[in-house]
């Protein structure tokens, strides 16, 4: 393909390179400032760059450690029975550390490593001339030209080659010609394929793919299609905003990690708009602003987001706050994060994005100012997203607060969801107590199936069956209606109620309540039983768990948890695993109460966090069908019918 044939007007490669350089940021100045004012970040960047230089990279399937991927990388090799290994290797994320190290040190070896790998990739991954004629399914298969990888390379990594090396002698006219020719072929396919894959614009993939298209058009306005690509991408990102960012706040997939990723992607679009002098609509900006709050709501008091669905338990709310600041010139969300995440960790996480700042000096000064400022978290402590069918209720905004996230979405939005209807995640007294297990991996194996299964979540099962069928890592069987239908503040207790019908004709109602900001009540009403076995699972982030008279007690050095229930039945303590990041897990304990029942059954469970050695003794008495009493400082009376739960205190 002749480079000249791609351009609107004839110009020499020398002229094109000069035009490109005029649009690049002053990375030399940025690097000098970062080197002088962020020594910890510089040390970490260079250390990571050295590993990347040696070909030692951590990828899905490598077990949470670095692995030699080849020098240059073996771009076409799929390892560990994991598609994500090949896909993510071909995102070249490791180039970011190499490029930043080059701008910090001016050591040519880092820049040459990237150039060499890029040219090797171009030679190895032969882009077929009939790429546009490939069937749509080709662009979802396991190879480097999956459309998502094209989008990610287009917005995230390959532009960094231009920014960090574009002004240097390493980025020659010959390199520019190869770069632009190969990126053009990919993005042309991206423009054609992506809207066919995501006609509703309702998935994070489409957002990243539009960003890849937009970024290419902005860096190379000389391309014939640049104006159309830019207009299409802006319209596509606007559509993503309307389709994915919910009115209540929260990205439509219901996964906090992906929500925080979307705050990066939607915010980065605004950064590009500022830099290249265009604007997104007021509706887009307002929706983005409102959705930043969900990043704070979905944080556990212990500073990691609840790993609902395909999510990590990580501090990526910080990244959301960074792009809130970049897009809106408002440091509030970064500041609010410091209430729950140690400020040192906030600064460290935020520093990873310093090169994206249009004004590095101002951003670094804002980060340093976080150390001495207080940000008052005055947001509501009861949150209900009706679209996501999630409720988050907490006692306050301090690290010792009691907090739970409760979810019930059926049918699911997409296959990043897990089979976890009416599951919940509970934190108290500075300890994650009952946890969503996370996702561990995307591989087609037993680990993926286990982490997505109902019995790995804190919910109720009938006959030990999943709520709906698991078919493959991203495919489920049909689902029947279910959702959260009420969230309400009733004074000394706050309540969320849900129902699902996936066990038809059996119907399950669950009510979960934070009472007196001291303990949590869970009422399960199950109708239509006919000699069915009923399992109630609680996935505890504890390894020291013992049975006691009315349930179990779990202990740790930080805080403890007592679980009392009205119907113990057969009690089993089962091994579990919790995953905070890809390929890594830690031991946990699953508590299972089970027995056989017919007709309508109502179960009441009390979760009591405590510190010290004195265990709270709670005996639940069923006074009549659906009416329970117990004493916990006060005398409580709990009445449950199919649609509601009422709690009162006796004098």
User: What DSSP string describes 238-300?
Assistant: HHHHHHHB-TTSSBTT--HHHHHHHHHHHHHHHHHHHHHT----HHHHHHHHHHHHHHHHTB-
Mean pLDDT value of segment 53-62: 98
Report the distance separating Cα 257 and Cα 564, nearest Å. Answer: 32
Secondary structure of residue 380 in the 3-state scheme: coil
Report the pLDDT value the prediction gives residue 377, as an integer from 0 to 100. Answer: 82
Mean pLDDT value of segment 82-106: 98
> Could you tell me the CA-to-CA distances from 620 to 72, 496, 606, 629, 635 in Å, in that order?
65, 21, 9, 6, 11
Is there a contact between 542 and 561 (Cβ–Cβ < 8 Å)? yes
What count of Cα atoms within 13 Å lies in the side-chain half-sphere of residue 297?
A: 26
Report the pLDDT value the prediction gives residue 186, as an integer from 0 to 100. Answer: 97
Give the chain's end-to-end CA distance (angstroms, integer). 85
pLDDT at 510 over 90: yes
Query: φ, ψ for residue 237 (rounded to 5)?
Result: -65, -40
pLDDT at 651 over 80: no
Secondary structure of residue 439 in the 3-state scheme: coil
The residues, any chain, with a CB within 8 Å of residue 344's CB and separated by 6 or more, are none
The structure's pTM equals 0.96
pLDDT at 350 over 90: yes
Q: How does pLDDT run across 420-477, given as a tens digit for each residue?
A: 999 999 999 999 999 999 999 999 999 999 999 999 999 999 999 999 999 999 999 9
Q: Cβ atoms within 10 A of the Cβ of 586, count?
A: 11
Mean pLDDT value of segment 534-546: 98
Report the distance separating Cα 404 and Cα 515, nearest Å. Answer: 12
Q: How does pLDDT run across 299-343, given as a tens digit for each residue?
A: 999 999 999 999 999 999 999 999 999 999 999 999 999 999 999
Helices 317-328 & 360-369 angle (0-180, nearest 10): 130
Tokens found for residue 62:
């490598």
Report the pLDDT value the prediction gives residue 373, as an integer from 0 to 100. Answer: 87
pLDDT at 483 over 90: yes
Q: How does pLDDT run across 371-418, given as a tens digit for each residue?
A: 888 888 889 999 999 999 999 999 999 999 999 999 999 999 999 999
Q: How does pLDDT run across 275-286, given as a tens digit for each residue?
A: 999 999 999 999
Q: How does pLDDT run across 199-254, given as a tens digit for each residue?
A: 999 999 999 999 999 999 999 999 999 999 999 999 999 999 999 999 999 999 99
Report the distance separating Cα 260 and Cα 27, nearest Å. Answer: 27
């Amino acid at each position: 393909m002749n480079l000249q044939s791609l351009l609107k007007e004839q110009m020499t490669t020398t002229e094109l390179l000069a035009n490109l350089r005029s649009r690049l940021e002053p990375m030399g100045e940025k690097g000098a400032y970062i080197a002088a004012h962020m020594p910890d970040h510089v040390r970490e960047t260079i250390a990571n760059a050295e590993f990347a230089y040696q070909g030692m990279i951590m990828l899905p399937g490598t077990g949470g450690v670095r692995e030699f991927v080849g020098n240059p990388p073996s771009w076409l090799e799929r390892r560990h029975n994991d598609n994500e290994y090949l896909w993510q290797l071909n995102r070249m994320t490791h180039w970011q550390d190499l490029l930043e190290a080059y701008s910090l040190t001016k050591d040519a070896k880092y820049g040459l490593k990237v150039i060499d790998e890029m040219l090797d990739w171009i030679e190895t991954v032969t882009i077929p001339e009939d790429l546009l004629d490939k069937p749509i399914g080709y662009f979802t298969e396991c190879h480097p030209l999956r459309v998502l990888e094209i989008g990610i390379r287009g917005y995230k990594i390959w532009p960094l080659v231009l920014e960090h090396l574009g002004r240097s002698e390493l980025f020659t006219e010959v390199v520019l010609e190869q770069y632009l020719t190969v990126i053009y072929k990919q993005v042309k396919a991206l423009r054609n394929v992506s809207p066919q894959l995501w006609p509703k614009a309702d998935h994070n993939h489409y957002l990243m793919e539009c960003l890849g298209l937009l970024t290419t058009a902005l860096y190379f306005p000389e391309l014939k299609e640049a104006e159309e690509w830019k207009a299409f991408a802006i319209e596509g990102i606007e559509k993503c905003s309307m389709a994915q960012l919910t009115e209540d706040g929260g990205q439509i997939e219901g996964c906090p990690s992906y929500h925080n990723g979307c705050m990066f992607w939607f915010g980065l679009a605004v950064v590009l708009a500022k830099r290249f002098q265009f604007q997104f609509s007021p509706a887009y900006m307002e929706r983005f602003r409102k959705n930043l709050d969900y990043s704070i709501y979905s944080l556990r008091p212990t500073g990691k987001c609840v790993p609902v669905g395909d999510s990590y338990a990580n501090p990526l709310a910080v990244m959301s706050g960074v792009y809130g600041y970049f897009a809106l010139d408002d440091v509030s969300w970064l500041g609010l994060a410091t209430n729950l995440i140690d400020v040192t960790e906030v600064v460290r996480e935020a520093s990873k994005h310093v090169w994206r700042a249009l004004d590095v000096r101002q951003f670094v000064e804002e980060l340093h100012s976080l150390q001495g400022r207080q940000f008052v978290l005055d947001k509501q402590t009861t949150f209900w997203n009706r679209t996501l069918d999630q409720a988050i209720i907490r006692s306050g905004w301090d690290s010792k607060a009691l907090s739970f996230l409760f979810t019930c979405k059926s049918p699911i939005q997409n296959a990043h969801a897990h089979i976890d209807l009416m599951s919940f995640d509970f934190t108290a007294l500075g300890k994650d107590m009952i946890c969503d297990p996370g996702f561990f991996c995307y591989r087609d194996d037993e680990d993926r199936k286990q982490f997505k299964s109902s019995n790995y979540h804190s919910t109720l099962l009938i006959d030990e069956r999943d709520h709906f069928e698991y078919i493959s890592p991203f495919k489920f069987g049909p689902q029947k209606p279910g959702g959260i239908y009420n969230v309400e503040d009733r004074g000394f207790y706050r309540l969320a109620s849900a129902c699902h019908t996936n066990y038809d004709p059996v119907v399950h109602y669950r009510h979960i309540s934070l009472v007196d900001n001291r303990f949590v009540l869970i009422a399960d009403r199950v109708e239509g039983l006919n000699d069915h076995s009923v399992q109630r699972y609680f996935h505890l982030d504890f390894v020291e768990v013992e049975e006691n008279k009315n349930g179990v007690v779990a202990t740790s050095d930080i805080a403890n948890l007592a679980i009392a229930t009205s119907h113990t039945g057969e009690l089993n303590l089962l091994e579990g695993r919790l995953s905070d990041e890809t390929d890594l897990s830690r031991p946990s304990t699953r508590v299972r109460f089970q027995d056989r029942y017919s007709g309508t059954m109502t179960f009441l469970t009390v979760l009591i966090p405590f510190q010290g050695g004195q265990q709270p003794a709670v005996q639940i008495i069923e006074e009549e069908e659906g009416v329970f009493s117990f004493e916990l400082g006060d005398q409580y009376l709990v009445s449950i019918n199919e649609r509601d739960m009422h709690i009162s205190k006796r004098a």
